[in-house]
Amino acid sequence: MVQIALDGALEGSAVFQISDGFSLERVIKMADLGVDSFLHHSLAEIEPLQPGERIVLQVVNGEVADYTRGWMSSAQRIILGISLHPDRMTEKDWDYLPGVGISLAAEIEKNRQENGDFLELQALTRVRGIGPKRIKLWEDFFK
């Protein structure tokens, strides 16, 4: 089961839960957004969709001209029960979590930029101000 957000300049922008086919073309067709199929792109080469992805379609004259992929905000993912990943979060995402303010969120992002990805939640202990208690507080969001 994959839940993604489909956005863009079109009616029907929403979150979709998909269990039958994870290609972008199939999502567009299943969502019945009133746009032509996305055949002018090489859909076979597009990576499968992941839970919590945000797809923004650029629609021109009723056709999908292009798209961008990113991630739903942490607030959206938490509400939908989609697991967070420490390397897919922005400062704003971190600020949404309990016990994280603007300055700690900035420190987390700075640490990732200077020292590389965290890969797992436990690695956040390398950030000043994050210890086992905070990790325990956040565990349920990262499962």
Do 85 and 55 contact (CB within 8 A), yes or no? no
Mean pLDDT in order along the chain per 10 residues (143 residues): 65 63 63 55 61 80 77 90 92 93 96 95 96 94 91
Residue 30 pLDDT: 65
Domain boundary assignment for the chain: 2-71, 84-142
Residue 48 pLDDT: 74
* DSSP sequence for 72-118: --HHHHHHHTPPP-TTS--HHHHHHSTT--HHHHHHHHHHHHHH---
Tell me whether strands 53-60 and 63-71 are parallel, antiparallel or unpaired. antiparallel
- In degrees and rounded to multiples of 5, residue 126 shows phi and psi of -75, -10
Cα separation, 5 vs 52, whole angstroms: 7
Neighbours of 38 (CB within 10 A): 21
How far CA 59 is from CA of 28, 67, 130, in Å, comes to 12, 9, 43
Position 67: which residue type?
Y
Residue 80 pLDDT: 87
Residue 42 pLDDT: 44
pTM over 0.75: no
CATH (residue range 84-142): 1.10.150.280
Neighbours of 95 (CB within 10 A): 17
Q: Which residues pair with 14 in a beta bridge?
A: 6
